[in-house]
Amino acid sequence: MTFKADKIFVNLPVKDLNKSINFFTEIGFEFNPQYTDENATCMVVSENIFVMLLVEDYFKTFTKKEISDSTKSTEVIVALSTESKEKVDELVNKALAAGGKSSNEPVDHGFMYGWSFQDLDDHLWELFYMDESAVHQ
């Protein structure tokens, strides 16, 4: 039997929850108020994908490990697909205008286009569009 999850919750530590909420709101994300308090918020990516933004001290209660210094190392890149190359550019430009930092220049492979940014806590986000009809089966 193969395991298939119904939903995914990515947990990310943040230094300032309100600043992070404002940043991601400017990009166009919404939040579930049922799972939002002074320690955490639930950012809705899609019907089944969520990002829990957790204040660092609260994040530490979920692990015995140290929180990675995201200014120096990377543990994860959150990659999200979009419906077009234009949407990739739109969202990354919104992130940069909201205070995010450029991570890499746009990369166009023809069938796949991507561009990435760093959020206010230096977490890496990659937005990409893939023309699945052009991918060899």
Task: Among 11, 36, 65, identify where a domain stops.
Answer: 65
Tokens of 6: 């119904």
Together in a domain, 57 and 1: yes
Together in a domain, 5 and 50: yes
Tell me the pTM.
Answer: 0.90
Characterise 38 by phi-psi region: left (phi > 0), alpha (psi -120 to 50), beta (else): alpha
Cα separation, 89 vs 109, in Å, equals 15
Together in a domain, 4 and 59: yes
Residue 70 belongs to some domain of the structure: no
Cα separation, 91 vs 115, in Å, equals 10
Number of domains in the chain: 2
Q: Which domain holds residue 79?
A: 75-137
Together in a domain, 57 and 3: yes
Together in a domain, 1 and 61: yes
Together in a domain, 33 and 81: no
Tens digit of pLDDT for each residue in 52-68?
Answer: 999 999 999 999 999 99
Give the CATH number of the domain where residue 128 resides: 3.10.180.10
Extended strands (E) in the chain: 8-14, 30-32, 40-44, 49-55, 77-81, 101-108, 112-118, 124-130
Tens digit of pLDDT for each residue in 3-58?
Answer: 989 999 999 999 999 999 999 999 999 999 999 999 999 999 999 999 999 999 99
